[in-house]
Structures are given as C-alpha cells and as structure tokens.
Amino acid sequence: MPPELKFTSANFQTEVIGSDVPVMVDFWASWCLPCKAIEPILSELAEDYKGKVKIGKINVDQNRKIASQCGIQGLPTFILFSSGRVIDRRTGSQSKSQLKEMLNRVS
C-alpha cells in the first residue's frame, strides 16, 4: 500500500490546485462510515493509478475552509481536479468501478 496522502489547508493550494498531474480528493470525516469503508479501495486505486492520478484525502472537520470553498454538502465527496479545474465530483459511497470511471476521465 502506498503511503496515505493527506491534504490540509496548508498544502491544498500546491498539492491539489497547482499539481502537475490530476488529483482526486476524498473529502471525509471520522464519523462517516462510508468514508471509513472506502479507505482500502482508495489505497488500491492510488497504487493502480500511480504516476497518472494523485489520490488523497482531506478531513473536512479539520479543514473547514477548504470544505466550505469546495461546497461540501455531504460525505464522502470525491472531487477530481485537473490543472486546478474541477473535472468531476460525486457525493456518496462509490464502488471501485465507479471511482475508476471518474479516474479514467483524466488518465
């Protein structure tokens, strides 16, 4: 498993918005059961898409401003960024193939 990539308010601008490769961000919280359940699948995908798409997560409780700027209304929310633009976003638990469908839009 690759090391888990964590985004925060401090690195969001450089790691996500300014990233050279597309980025998929998982907005999550510790009280959100679907967010916990999806962790192993995200690790698998991070490995599968290594070099093509960066996959990481951001805790909304600890990073309110980003959550607010991204208009997070429900969890988990997955947002796919490319060159700082939002390419796709989905809210609610996703299957692996649904997440792949998202990722394949940019890889």
Partner 1 sequence: MSAYSMHNQDKTCWNCPAIDLAGMVDFRACGQSLQISKARSDDSDTYILARCKRNPGLGVYDPTTITFAECPEWIERPYGYLLRDMRVMILGIDGYLGWTLALWLGNLGIKVSGIDNYNRRNWVKERGAHTVVPISRMSERLHAATSVLGIDINFREIDIMDRARLAEFIDEVKPEAIVHYAECPSAPYSMIDAEHAILVQENNVLGTLGLLFIMRDLVPETSLIKLGTMGEYGTPLTGRPIFEGIFPADAILKWDNREWSLGGELTPRDPVSFYHVSKVQDTFNVYESCKYWWLRSYDVMQGVIYGIHTDQVAADERLRTRFDIDEWFGTVINRFVAQAVIGFPLSIYGAGEQLRGFIALEDAMQCMVRLIASPPDPGQYGVVNQMSGYCSIRSLAETVAEIGSQEFGLTVRIQRVENPRVEADIHPFEPIYDNLPKEFAFQPKVSPEMEIYRMFELLTQPSIKQRIEEKKHLILPRTWWSGQKKPVETLEVIDEVEYAPRAKVYLS
DSSP 48: H
In single-letter form, the type of residue at position 74 comes to G
Build a one-symbol-per-residue string for 67-106: x at contacts with partner 1 by CB under 8 A, - elsewhere.
xx---xxxx-x---------------xxxxxx--------
Annotated catalytic, 70? no
Q: From the candidates 5, 16, 24, 35, give the one annotated as an active-site residue.
A: 35
Taking residue 104's Cβ as centre, other Cβ atoms within 10 Å add up to 11
Both tokens assigned to 90: 């989905």
Residues that bind partner 1 (CB under 8 A): 9, 27, 29-38, 40-41, 60-68, 72-75, 77, 93-98
